[in-house]
Copies of this chain bind each other. A is one copy, B any other.
Amino acid sequence: MTFDNRELALAQHLADEAGKILRRHWRTGLNVEQKADASPVTLADRECEEHLRTLIEKAFPDHGIIGEEHGNLRSDALSQWVIDPIDGTRSFIAGYPIFATLIALTKDGVPVVGIIDQPITRERWTGVKGDSATCNGEPVTASRTQSLTQAVIATTSTYYFTQEEAALFATFKHQCAQTVLGGDAYAYAMLASGQLDIVIDAGMKPYDFCALVPVIEGAGGIITDWNGAALTPASAGRVIACANEKLHEQALKLIQSATI
């Protein structure tokens, strides 16, 4: 089951359109007192998702859509667009240019196209099943780091962990060379680009992880759930990405030895 060029072109177009909207809303929260409701990030998120949904419906009226703000459409369709206009809303709020727009296309549950787009730094990682992943057209390669003790590990936030998950992450932190907090999807892009060796997260939703799969795999990395199973829109939200098979084996062993 694969994708065609029209579908890949739409994925790129969706990322372009999202970028235009997000750059317009970026850092406009100056002196807005009511940040809690109808914040710039919420407005940008909603406007963006509505626009992307319209474009998808127009191009492929029989495809399904999975999105954060407006829920699921045609859940039984073979082709599903899984989109998140702003992954890393806290980074967006803070004004850190490390949030991302995520666009994925899955076929029969398999992510076949994935885009991680950073519209401020204008970096775009594209992955398509069975081919090399790229950043702005240039191939990217995950690192060759072979052991946990030399690995740089990241997680988005320790706040997203249960107590048991936090204890497991503390074990990783203790074993690995360096620990980085923050990053959301941008951390997975950095793994694809060889900067980070392991990224581990819990509580992720399909629109948080589907787009990551073709990018990580196309860079030579491995991304699975915490049991080592392939990620599909139906996966629970515990995700581990590693730069290569050797690291993935060691990481899974560490997970299996923990009480989670």
Residue positions of A touching B, CB distance < 8 A: 27, 29-36, 90-91, 93-98, 120-121, 141, 143-146, 149-150, 152, 154, 157-159, 177-183, 186-187, 190, 193-196
State which of B94, B144, B150 has its C-beta within 8 Å of the C-beta of A154. B94
Residue of chain B at shortest CB distance from A90: B180
Q: What residues on B are CB-neighbors of A195 within 8 Å? A: 27, 29-30, 93-95
Q: What residues on B are CB-neighbors of A194 within 8 Å? A: 29-31
> Contacts A29-B195, A121-B121, A194-B29 known; A93 to B35 CB distance under 8 Å?
no
> Contacts A31-B194, A33-B150, A98-B98 known; A178 to B145 CB distance under 8 Å?
no
Residue of chain B at shortest CB distance from A144: B31
Copies in the complex: 2
State which of B91, B150, B181, B182 has its C-beta within 8 Å of the C-beta of A35. B150
Q: What residues on B are CB-neighbors of A95 within 8 Å? A: 190, 193, 195-196
Residue of chain B at shortest CB distance from A95: B195
Beta-carbon contact of A150 and B34 below 8 Å: yes
Can you pick out 11 interface pairs between chain A and chain B where the beta carbons lie within 8 Å of each other? A31-B144, A33-B150, A35-B152, A36-B178, A93-B180, A96-B186, A97-B97, A120-B121, A157-B181, A158-B181, A182-B183
Q: What residues on B are CB-neighbors of A149 within 8 Å? A: 36
C-alpha gap A27/B189 in the complex (Å): 13
Chain B nearest CB from A26 CB (Å) reads 10
C-alpha gap A143/B195 in the complex (Å): 34
Could you tell me the dominant secondary structure of chain A's interface residues? loop
C-alpha gap A63/B157 in the complex (Å): 42
Chain B nearest CB from A197 CB (Å) reads 8
> Contacts A121-B121, A159-B179, A181-B157 known; A144 to B94 CB distance under 8 Å?
no
Q: What residues on B are CB-neighbors of A120 within 8 Å? A: 121
Q: What residues on B are CB-neighbors of A178 within 8 Å? A: 35-36, 90, 93
Q: What residues on B are CB-neighbors of A146 within 8 Å? A: 33
Beta-carbon contact of B190 and A96 below 8 Å: yes
C-alpha gap A193/B96 in the complex (Å): 12
State which of B36, B93, B141, B180 has its C-beta within 8 Å of the C-beta of A31. B141
Chain B CB within 10 Å, residue with most, of A27, A94, A194:
A94
C-alpha gap A193/B190 in the complex (Å): 27
- Nearest 5 pairs of A and B residues by beta carbon: A182-B182, A95-B195, A30-B194, A95-B190, A94-B180
